[in-house]
Structure 1
C-alpha cells in the first residue's frame, strides 16, 4: 500500500507559536504575555548590546542563557510530560518540567530587583516601583499564562519559577562579587576597546552623567566652531 503522505513529517519552530482558544480574550492576552521572554531577549538585550554595550547587561544576558541551558538539561533528564492538553497544542513531543518561561521570567525579575537595589541612588530608588509594579506582575502573569493556555501544570511552572529565582540570585552574586573586579580589565582589553564595551555601575546616576557630558561636549564643539 502506498504511503498517503509522501512527504516527511514536518515540525514547526514554536518560538512565537502560542495557541489559545478562539474567542477567548483572556487567552489572547495571556498568549501575548507568554511571549514577553522573547521580547526581552530580542528587543531588550539585543538592542542593549547595540546601543549601550554595558558589561552588567551583557553578564545579565549570559546568566539568562546559562539558566535556559540548565532548564533544557533538566527537562531532558527528567522527561516529565506536559499536561494532557499538549495534544491539542501539538506540544506532546517536548517535556514540561520545569517551565522555561517561568524560569526565565523569575530569573529576570530577581536579578533586575537585586541590580536596581544594588545601585542605590536617587534615580534608582524611583525606579524600584517599576520593578515592583511592572516586572514582578509580568513574571507572575507569564507563569499563570502557561497553565491557563495548557502548556504546563501548576507544579511545572512553580518549579521553573523557583529554579529561576535561585539561579537569578546566585548569578547576581557571582557577577557582582567575583566578576565585577574584572570589569575594568575587560574594558581595557582588545575586545572591550573594539566594541566600546563599558561599565557604568560605579556611577550613581548614569542619565545625569551622560546628559551633563553631552552638553559639555556640545559647548566645546560650539566654542571651537566660533573660534
Structure 2
C-alpha cells in the first residue's frame, strides 16, 4: 500500500470533525488514526506540536490546526467549490473560532468559569447564531444553494452548542439556522465522517479514510 498522509483524529471533537469533512469532500486519501485523548499514542505526541487533534502529517509537512487541514485538502481537490466563497465567510469562521467558541465553552463548561454568568455567555453565543440565521435566510447554506468552507467549518461547533440543551436551542433558534443544522446532522456527509472506529495503536494496519465506514460496520 502506498504511504498515505496520516490524519490523527478523535471522533467527537468538533475541530477533528471539520477536518474530516473537508478531507472527505476533497476525496484525498489519508490514513485515519483515531486517538484516545486520555492515553495519547507516542507517535501522535511526536508528530503534533500541540498534542491536540486533528493533526495531519504528509511527508515532512505537519499541520496542527483544523482549519489549515481543511484548506490543505481542498487546495488539492475542491470538487464542490467550498473555497469559492466571499470574504464574509472567512470573517464568520474567525468569529466562530473566537468569540462564539469562547461563549460556547463558558456555557457548556460553566462550572469551570465561576466568575462568569452562564446565561450571559449563552446570550453571547445566541447573538452570533442570530447573525448566521439572518445570513442563511431562505437559502439552505450560508451563501446560497451550495455549502462552503464556512458552513462546514462552523457547523460542528453549532452542533456542539445545540446539544448543551437541545430543547432550549430548538425553542430559541431561528427557522433558517435550525433547518441548516438539521440538514447537516441528517446528511450522508456527516454520517460518513462519524463511524465508530477502534483506537489506533502502534503497529495497527493502516486504515484508509474512505474505507472507515465499511471497517466500522462490516
TM-score range, shorter-chain basis?
Answer: under 0.3
Q: Compare the two structures and name the one with the higher strand fraction.
A: 2
Based on CA coordinates, which of the two structures has the bigger radius of gyration? 1
Q: TM-score, normalised by structure 2?
A: 0.28
